Structures are given as C-alpha cells and as structure tokens.
Amino acid sequence: MAAPNPSAAPLGLQSKFFNKMDWLLEKFGSKFIIGLSGGGDSLALTKLCAEYQIKNQSAQFQAVIIDHAIAIGSDDVAAQAAKQAQAMGIDARILRVSVRITTSIQEEARKRRYELLNQAALEFGAKTILLAHNFEDQIETLLFRMLRKTGLDGLAGMRDVQASYDQKRGETFILARPLLDVSRDSLRKYLAENGIEYYDDPANENQDFSRVKIRKTWPKIR
C-alpha cells in the first residue's frame, strides 16, 4: 500500500511531502499522530506538518513524545520537544513509560513506543501515525534484516504506508513514513534553513547496538 507520486517532475521536499499528506488525508482521514522524539528527523517531520496545516486547515495533528526514562535527562528532552512542537503550532503531549532493562532494550522500547502511539491515536481519533524514518534508516533496516537472514520478506524493507493491527485494542492503524525517500542530510539542511535545533541521542553512537554498527559501517561501503 504505497502512496503514489502524482507528478513525474522533480519536486522539493515540501511539495513532495504535501502531495503525500494530501493522499493520506483523503485515504485515511484528517487526524494524524506524529511520533516525535526531539531528534532531527522527527522535528523536521513536525515542522513539515505545521506547514501542511497552514495549507490544509482541515488537517489536525498531535505530536506524541514517548519518554522511556532510560537516559538521564530524558524528561528535559521530552519537555523541549513538546515546547518546540507547540511553538510550531502543533499540539503536543508527553507519555512516560517504564522499560525493562534487558539485553534487547532497544527492541523493548520500540514495542512500548508503538503501543503508546496506538493508544494516543485511539484517544485523538486518528487512524494514521506519522513516523520520521528516512532513506538512511531504510538502508540500515535492509542491511540489518539481511544480516539476520530474514529471507525475501526482509529484503522489502520498511513500507511507506503500512496497516498495523493492534490486537489489544481491536483497531487497525496506519503507519506512514512520508520521509522514507528523503536523505538525512536533506532533513538537516531543512532544519538549518528554519533555524531549528535538535537533540542528538548519545545512544546513536553506542556500537553495542546492532543498528548503530550498521549505521557506522554503511558510509564506508556505499
């Protein structure tokens, strides 16, 4: 289930994003949850949503920040992200969750994050959850799945639009990744042009995590 690009001509970041949002809104409704971490990618997504809301005032957004309370100062990061979203004109809420300290802490945090995003979507009346995965994230996912030998399904990578059934809530949500074809550098440039500062998560440098190892290796082999 992929969002079509109605134009064959090259489009800028904002124009491409607006086209995708037009399609999502027509297909799944005008309410959207934004998964916001305070990092560069999700802040770029939030800013683009704020710009889209000016263009299409029927669109309604709520940025949801999940504080896993794993890192020291995570509450400050969450508060700053909420403040930035609100300054852009986007409603924001912070949800805090405890994550069990396990050998797969990133996977545990991811599961809890999606559970809370689903709950927030249900409460907001939204079907669609916007996620800020970018082109490099897609490459990392493909390499990660190949290394884990996930078979042909793994080679498909992440989908830009994906239906996700929540058995606990008896609801199907739409996970949309409108930045999946956008490079991280392009998003950083967009943030700089708009004077937006972002949080660099130290965990992104921790090579104890498999995805971080891939992230560090990928630029050397491409």
Residue range 55-94, pLDDT digits in tens? 999 999 999 999 987 778 899 999 999 999 999 999 999 9
pLDDT value at residue 152? 55
How are strands ordered across the β-sheet holding 91-96?
91-96, 60-67, 31-36, 128-130, 171-176, 161-166
Domain-located, residue 5: no
Output the domain CATH number for residue 164: 3.40.50.620
* Statement: residue 211 has pLDDT above 60: no
Domain-located, residue 143: yes
Return the DSSP state at 202: G
Residue range 34-62, pLDDT digits in tens? 999 999 999 999 999 999 999 999 999 99
pLDDT value at residue 209? 46
Domain-located, residue 132: yes
Domain-located, residue 3: no
Domain-located, residue 173: yes
pLDDT, mean over the chain: 85
CA gap 173, 181 in Å, rounded: 22
* Statement: residue 4 has pLDDT above 50: no
Domain-located, residue 153: yes
Domains identified in the chain, total number: 1
Which range (99-103, 169-173, 201-205) has the least confidence?
A: 99-103
> How far, in Å, are 2, 146, 193, 221 from residue 154 at the CA level?
17, 7, 36, 20
pTM (2 d.p.): 0.84
> Where does the pLDDT of residue 192 fall: very low under 50, low under 70, confident under 90, or very high at 90 and above?
very high
206 is in which domain, residue-wise? 13-221
